[in-house]
Amino acid sequence: MSAHVAVVTGGAHGLGEFIVRRLHAEGFRVAVADLDSAAATALAEELGDARGYAVDVTDRAALERLKADVVAGFGGVHVLVNNAARTQATPLMEITTDELEAVMAVNFTGTFTACQIFGTHFAGQGYGRIVNMASLAGQNGGTATGGHYASSKGAILSATKVFARELAPHGVTVNAVSPGPQDSPMVRSIVGEDNVEDFAKNIPVGRLGDPAFIARMVALLASPEAASVTGACWDANGGLYLR
């Protein structure tokens, strides 16, 4: 597996950084792709056998360049993790058209476009793994997050199925991971540090999720052994959404 190359969008911070570190620990060579190119490069240099890339996932040409640069730099690419996301907790009736389009452009359109670009490349080589980061918000309509964020994540779940069906005959799997509230700075800022304990009490298991475990789920779906799993959504929400 050491020869396999994984691209992680939004990989320099937050959950993306956990995913990058986990994939690297499992032997992948990792392309850390982020708007914050300095942070992406710094993380890549810290890890070794990794590279940082600047990318704006709302720009199709930038995603095309990312794919070409990774193939040129590493000699190939085998895994794509669509993690880049924009989160805003604006009240539903106050979301402007511009804000709706901005959130959808990153979360949904960026994911969809990257699936097209990398999915085509993976199909051409007869192997690939795509993991899309969804969210509990896309399944239950959201609670603490904005309605545009929840809607974008629901769209990602549908796109995951569409691409899974299209790419399955070509050795490419496409899956989603759908985390509930994680013990992360972003969740703590949305909920409020003073409210975290009460917030956790409303989760059936009584605790926030662990981002490091989410990263392990992603790594498992990114592995060659995950060949029989496609079009799936793996939930990790503490029992907040059961199906």
Q: What percent of the chain has pLDDT over 90?
A: 89
Separation between Cα atoms, residue 52 and residue 42, nearest integer Å: 8
Residue 149 annotated among the catalytic residues of the structure: yes
Residue 20: name the closest of 1, 45, 47, 39 by CA: 47
Spell out the residues 6+ positions from residue 183 whose beta carbon is closer than 8 angstroms to its own.
Answer: 207, 208, 209, 210, 211
| Position 62 pLDDT exceeds 90 | yes
Give yes or no for a contact between 64 and 71, defined as CB atoms under 8 angstroms apart: no
Tokens representing residue 55 in the block = 């990318």
pLDDT, mean of residues 157-169? 98
User: Which residue is associated with the tokens 């790419």?
Assistant: 167
pLDDT top residue among 101 and 193: 101
Phi, psi of 139, rounded to the nearest 5 degrees: -105, -35
Helix, strand, or coil here: 37? helix
Supply the mean pLDDT for the chain: 96
What are the domain boundaries of the chain?
5-236
What pLDDT, on a 0 to 100 scale, did the predictor assign at position 142? 87
Class of domain 5-236: alpha beta
| Position 144 pLDDT exceeds 90 | no
Q: Which residues of 74-85 are buried (b: 16+ CB within 10 A; e: fewer)?
A: beebbbbbbbbb
What pLDDT, on a 0 to 100 scale, did the predictor assign at position 186? 78
pLDDT, mean of residues 71-75? 98
| Position 79 pLDDT exceeds 90 | yes
pLDDT, mean of residues 110-129? 98
Give yes or no for a contact between 131 and 177, defined as CB atoms under 8 angstroms apart: yes
What pLDDT, on a 0 to 100 scale, did the predictor assign at position 1? 42
Give yes or no for a contact between 142 and 88, defined as CB atoms under 8 angstroms apart: no
Separation between Cα atoms, residue 165 and residue 172, nearest integer Å: 10
Residue 155: name the closest of 100, 210, 220 by CA: 100
Q: What percent of the chain has pLDDT over 70?
A: 99
Give yes or no for a contact between 217 and 234, defined as CB atoms under 8 angstroms apart: yes
| Position 88 pLDDT exceeds 90 | no
Instruction: List Cα–Cα distances, 34 to 43, 62, 115, in angstroms.
Output: 11, 11, 17
Separation between Cα atoms, residue 44 and residue 89, nearest integer Å: 31
What pLDDT, on a 0 to 100 scale, did the predictor assign at position 188? 84
The model's pLDDT over 17-26, given as tens digits with 9 standing for 90+, comes to: 999 999 999 9
